[in-house]
Amino acid sequence: MHPMQRESPYPMVAIEQARQIIQQHTPSPAAEEVAALAADGRILAEDVVAAAPVPDMPKSAVDGYALRAADGLAPRRVLAEITAGGTQGASIGPGEAARIMTGAPLPAGADAVVMVEQTSEEGGVVSIQHAPQPGQSVHPVGQDIAQAALVLPRGAAIGPAEVGLLATLGRTRVLAYRRPRVAVLATGDEVYEPDTAPPPGGIRDSNRYTLMAAVRAAGAEPISLGIARDDRATQRAAILAGLAQADVLLTSGGVSMGTHDLIKPLLAELGTVHFGRVAFKPGKPTMFATVGGQPVFGLPGYPVSSLVSFEVFVRPMLRRMQGDPVPGRPHVSVLLAEHIQASPDRPEYQRAVVSFEQGRLVARSTGGQGSSRLLSMRGANALLVVPPRDGGYAPGQQLLALLTGPLA
Ligand code: AMP
Ligand code: MG
């Protein structure tokens, strides 16, 4: 067994420095062709241009009568009925009109449509109440999408509207960025599967399942590597298995100062450790390494530290790898609704609830901020960035918050 170390051999890096180091080692996003109409949640990897205008011919915007505006208020002889999906039908001459339905093509000769509510028809003749303007209730060619328009630029997030636009353009296949595969390994002799009854002192593995859910929420694909005992050969084999299947590896636990914390020396042996400690709370022992260019995060064992470190360091990388041009969460300025305790020496990300009250964003703590109290993450929609300070921050003071969910 190794002796207890008193001091970590790894220098402490600042949050910003850690972010830069991670960014330098972030793999470039890779594009793949996917089924466009189920690609919501992905980022487009190509510019999508309209091959044809929408609509492709002038169409009626309402149910009514297609006619010539120049005929003014004069009654018109009704020649035909044009339905959506039908053909343009007869050509409309002076003193003539055609019944027309919403979305039906405007017949030749007509330049306006009068809605049915403003007409009366008797004996094949339609009378109108107001003189129409040219172009009235007509959707001209290209009104919704102009020919050759750049409809969706590369880097656009595909959501419901984008899926609709791709469908409109007939784009059933599209280039989108690949979802990174992220292997997640739990470590610890005391850690057991959630569906078991651990022996006295044992705990159920929450980190692996939390991290896999966070990976999915970040748009990436988690791969479970199970739980590795605190044994060098076991953890080494699990790390190598993870790297073989995934783009990124996350480990939980085994990165602190205990004699059974083996992750850092193992990664130093297998690859390069870029940082081994970060000056922040919670999650000081967070480490980042690459093995053959593949990123590996050694996240702390404490459940809150593990999830906060994921938010602050891992998630932006996973978003960048998916081509997201805005990979970070939004930072907003919030007003403290209550006193916030600060750490005297390290910036702290505190779990908070931010709500919109009387025109301002207001933050409240989720309660006890201990690293093992996963309940402090429950219901949080923000990480309050609390700079180090003796005594903390008074109600009414402003701090920055990282919004991790919708406003409360
Ligand atoms: P470690 O970083 O391995 O020293 O673990 C720090 C603390 O986190 C210990 O109290 C562990 O029992 C706890 N812990 C480690 N792994 C997990 C896990 N997968 N789920 C929940 N708690 C864990
Ligand atoms: Mg451990």
The answer to whether the CB of 55 falls within 8 A of the CB of 144 is yes
- Mean pLDDT value of segment 191-214: 98
Q: Is 255 in the pocket of ligand 1 (CB under 6 A)?
A: yes
- Mean pLDDT value of segment 43-72: 98
Q: What angle do CA 341, 345, 349 make, to 5 degrees?
A: 55
Q: For ligand 1, atom 23, which residue shows the shortest CA distance?
A: 301
Closest ligand by atom to 302 CA:
1
The pLDDT confidence band at residue 248, using thresholds 50, 70 and 90, is very high
- Amino acid of residue 223: I
Q: What is the mean pLDDT of the chain?
A: 96
- pTM attached to this predicted model: 0.94
Burial class (CB in 10 A: 0-12, 13-18, 19+), 150: exposed
What does the pLDDT read at residue 4? 75
> Does pLDDT of 56 surpass 80?
yes
> Does pLDDT of 2 surpass 60?
no
**What is the C-alpha separation between 251 and 298, in angstroms, rounded?**
5
**What is the C-alpha separation between 105 and 55, in angstroms, rounded?**
9
The answer to whether the CB of 284 falls within 8 A of the CB of 308 is no
The pLDDT confidence band at residue 103, using thresholds 50, 70 and 90, is very high
Q: Which has the closest alpha carbon to 186: 160, 205, 163? A: 205
Q: Which atom of ligand 1 is nearest to the CA of 206?
A: 20
| Tens digits of residue pLDDT in 273-318 | 999 999 999 999 999 999 999 999 999 999 999 999 999 999 999 9
What does the pLDDT read at residue 3? 65
Q: For ligand 1, atom 11, which residue shows the shortest CA distance?
A: 301
Q: Report which of residues 7 and 400 the model is more confident about.
A: 400
| Tens digits of residue pLDDT in 334-350 | 999 999 999 999 999 99
Q: Three-state SS for 264?
A: helix
The pLDDT confidence band at residue 191, using thresholds 50, 70 and 90, is very high
> Does pLDDT of 1 surpass 80?
no
Could you tell me the distance, in angstroms and rounded to a whole number, from the CA of residue 187 to the centre of ligand 1? 8
| Tens digits of residue pLDDT in 116-151 | 999 999 999 999 999 999 999 999 999 999 999 999
Q: Is 188 in the pocket of ligand 1 (CB under 6 A)?
A: yes
What does the pLDDT read at residue 6? 78
Q: Which atom of ligand 1 is nearest to the CA of 208?
A: 19
Pocket test for ligand 1, best of 203, 211, 256 (most atoms within 8 A of CB): 203
- Mean pLDDT value of segment 11-23: 97
Q: Is 252 in the pocket of ligand 1 (CB under 6 A)?
A: yes
Q: For ligand 1, atom 15, which residue shows the shortest CA distance?
A: 301
CA 301 to chain centre: 26
- Mean pLDDT value of segment 23-52: 98
> Does pLDDT of 224 surpass 90?
yes
Pocket test for ligand 1, best of 4, 207, 225, 229 (most atoms within 8 A of CB): 207
Identify how many contiguous H helices and E strands the chain contains and give both numbers. 7, 27
- Mean pLDDT value of segment 200-219: 98
Could you tell me the distance, in angstroms and rounded to a whole number, from the CA of residue 139 to the centre of ligand 1? 63
Contacts of 357 (CB under 8 A, 6+ apart): none
Could you tell me the distance, in angstroms and rounded to a whole number, from the CA of residue 170 to the centre of ligand 1? 50
**What is the C-alpha separation between 375 and 382, in angstroms, rounded?**
14
Q: Is 190 in the pocket of ligand 1 (CB under 6 A)?
A: yes
What does the pLDDT read at residue 355? 98
Could you tell me the distance, in angstroms and rounded to a whole number, from the CA of residue 375 to the centre of ligand 2? 21
Closest ligand by atom to 203 CA:
1
> Does pLDDT of 42 surpass 90?
yes
The pLDDT confidence band at residue 260, using thresholds 50, 70 and 90, is confident
> Does pLDDT of 90 surpass 90?
no
What does the pLDDT read at residue 222? 98
User: Hey, what are 54's tokens?
Assistant: 């929408």
